[in-house]
Structure 1
Amino acid sequence: MILRHVTIDCADPYRLASFWSEVTGWPVSAEDNPGDPEALIEAPSPVPGLLFIRVPEDKTVKNRIHFDWMPTERSRDDEVERIIGLGATLHEDHRRADGLGWVTLLDPEGNEFCVERSTGERGL
């Protein structure tokens, strides 16, 4: 079996896909347009794409699943600042004085996700 997409319920699929496209650098599908009931960002193979689907309900509680991102081109702190500049908000800061830890952010619709230390900060 292959995991094809991770699907995220949302109010505005194209807007949220555009945000995540900026975060990841993965393109929004050329088939998707503003106002469509769904929008896909296409990840490089073999990574599953992110599919955003419009639902009528608002998000009301903490996510039951969320993404943990590890930057490859920037430090954790630089990546956090970049993503906040794209429209995310700081939710919880778990960084420690010794350099360990992570930051929990919220995307424009309030979905939680974490940014961990980068590959370079981990010595990878």
Structure 2
Amino acid sequence: MVAKIGQVTFDCQDGYALSKFWEQVTGYTESPEYPNAPEDEENFIGPDGGHPGLLFINVPDGPKRVKNRLHFDLVPETTRDEEVERLLGLGATLHEDHRKEDGTGWVTMLDPEGNEFCVERSEAERGRH
């Protein structure tokens, strides 16, 4: 027997705003049956509004203070560098740049609440079409 992952949960200060950011990053959407709202304590997005998805729960803990123990490694449909620029435009910030002169490497970024995530090279950039 195994267990399936139903969702990944983010404890955050503004779950609605963070869900809107991650919607733009992933293309995930809210469930049409349970639309998200700014006043909701929980906001969910997923592929076609389904699971597995991302759940954002408002908590009173204040801002994030330490490094995440779990993070996403994103593989863009465009190039890594184009995706980094797109994400900066959405409100992400550059945290650490691990790109190398030979084109390998990744970029570590922060979402609007400071959660780390990485942007890797696309499948095409890796030679895997």
TM-score (norm: length of structure 2): 0.90
Q: Which residue of 1 aligns with 2:118?
A: 114
TM-score (norm: length of structure 1): 0.93
Provide, for residues 81-117 of structure 1, a one-character-per-residue CA deviation record: whole Å limited to 9, x for no partner: 0011000000000000000000000000000000000
Q: Which deviates more from structure 2 when the two are superposed, residues 22-31 or residues 80-89?
A: 22-31
Percent identity of equivalent pairs: 60
Q: Which residue of 2 aligns with 1:101?
A: 105
- Corresponding residue SS for 1:53: strand
For the aligned residues, what is the CA RMSD?
Answer: 1.6
* CA displacement at 1:123 relative to structure 2: 1.2
For 2:21 and 2:4, how far apart are their aligned partners in 1?
25
Q: Which residue of 2 aligns with 1:24?
A: 26
Confirm or deny: 8 A CA contact 1:15 1:34 kept in the other structure.
yes
Q: Which deviates more from structure 2 when the two are superposed, residues 20-29 or residues 88-97?
A: 20-29
Q: Which deviates more from structure 2 when the two are superposed, residues 94-103 or residues 22-31?
A: 22-31
* CA displacement at 1:35 relative to structure 2: 1.7
For 2:85 and 2:52, how far apart are their aligned partners in 1?
26
* CA displacement at 1:34 relative to structure 2: 1.0
Q: Which runs of 5+ in 1 are unaligned?
A: none
Aligned residue type for 2:10: I
- Corresponding residue SS for 1:77: helix
Confirm or deny: 8 A CA contact 2:31 2:48 kept in the other structure.
no
Q: Which deviates more from structure 2 when the two are superposed, residues 52-61 or residues 22-31?
A: 22-31
* CA displacement at 1:45 relative to structure 2: 9.4
Aligned residue type for 2:5: L
Selected match of 1:62 from 41, 58, 67: 67
Q: Which runs of 5+ in 2 are unaligned?
A: none
For 2:74 and 2:48, how far apart are their aligned partners in 1?
15
Q: Which residue of 2 aligns with 1:40?
A: 44
For 2:104 and 2:7, how far apart are their aligned partners in 1?
31
